[in-house]
Structure 1
């Protein structure tokens, strides 16, 4: 059976990544692609690396005929998604890659995103899209909210540990480095090559990054009480990749055993042998997550390191993984591409 999908916001990085992945999918067909400023252009004009594919011309969302569309990927800025998702036919499944439906608490959404939630009735049915932890809910969902890429990375390192109670919940420090594509494709002065290359810098220091809302929500749910972590993101001069170095209080061997047991059988999560640690270069362009655990020279402390590709496992690959479940397909379909190296 072939499923027809539409990608809204196909002229951005996550839209292009969806097209790249779906091109290898055995049973998904791209029936519509949208863009605002680039409506009327072909994808080969917008992304020459996709010129070998036979794809629909980019059009405005209001021009799309959703009759016959099984699922919509919404790869739009978060401020626009509430209204657009609310306007879609009820029979169409939706995977939203924006932040529009990630936070269950409406007050938390307003706190972190600076505006009231514009579709509270849809928020009630939205399922959080971290596949490995919400797989059963995602299978039956109509609306799935993709996670933040930074939030996903930290959660892969920490969720099993918090659930198992093997670390001190009041001493969690996430030091994270992210590639520049996570900031989107829009022109920004601080992302110019001359401004960004040959160095990297911290941003949103002191607990102001929006993905903290997801950490608060998911970690507190697992712990059964409020959990607030320290989180410092950094922008590094690389196109892709996230590396999270997580400092915790707990026994390293027990932490490694817990992660190994939690992810046993997971097709996309690889726990490295004890003492080894991952690199972004080993997951580039793939839907894989690599996790490593290293003991500290001080007893009772450990470092957990997580690496993933922000555009794939952190966003578009995660979205396709969720869509596979929602459409009744193999979860791994279109996603077993090996990482690109070097």
Structure 2
């Protein structure tokens, strides 16, 4: 009894140490992301401004008001949105890899990103502004839901949804919708609209305001809590459909529900960030190396690592060729492409 309790206590301790380390990495990345820019700030000034805004009595302002405006109205919402998007893509990638039992799966596999891209490109090309600043994210979200619905019905046959049909339906839908988005961009006839659409298709967080943060933050938080609530069925799926069914899990119903949940979360984050690939592919593998494959332990770690990664990637996108900004989707593709090829060769060797 004692012999088994000690290793378990050590495992719990090491797990919490990993989470604490990841939280510290998120804090460091966020501080660097807020401090860097055309107006560079010291880390102490960053935290002083944030603490002063949260609790004015704690910190006496010693900085010009313009710096507080830069931090709280420009950089903090951008860093928060980066963290939310990174956490959402990472968590959804981990859930999706269990859902289809394929470590090469990525949230973009579902075609949700391509659907969101079509919605956003339509707004940019047709210059729709009925809902003001919300026109683009809402159109992107509507496109994501449309793609979700199409993939869902294409993958279901006879009341069931198999992994093969799900993957094929997602890939086919993504290719068709990507072609539609490209056609809309090419035929727009306006160079400015074309440039805006292309930059959105490559992903980025330029122009982020506080108004864009609450909806994706709520979607990621609720989605992560829901996935934690079904972590045991997710673990059963990793053992195989037959084993999961023998334990009383309705595999087809659970897969359909989880598919909808993941697609909705991905659609909510893609609607505000553009198409950003490979994040949900790479980070779940790193998390499994750190804390193991059990989802009740891996999902919180995936959220923290995804947030840190996306904040760091956005920082690199803003500073590598400043004052110009690299679309963040280019950087994640440069990192994720070689990782995908390495993972594919590793599976082939096995």
Q: TM-score, normalised by structure 1?
A: 0.27
Higher relative contact order (CA 8 A, sep 6+): 2
Q: Which one has a larger percent strand, Structure 1 or Structure 2?
A: 1
Q: Which one has a larger percent helix, Structure 1 or Structure 2?
A: 2
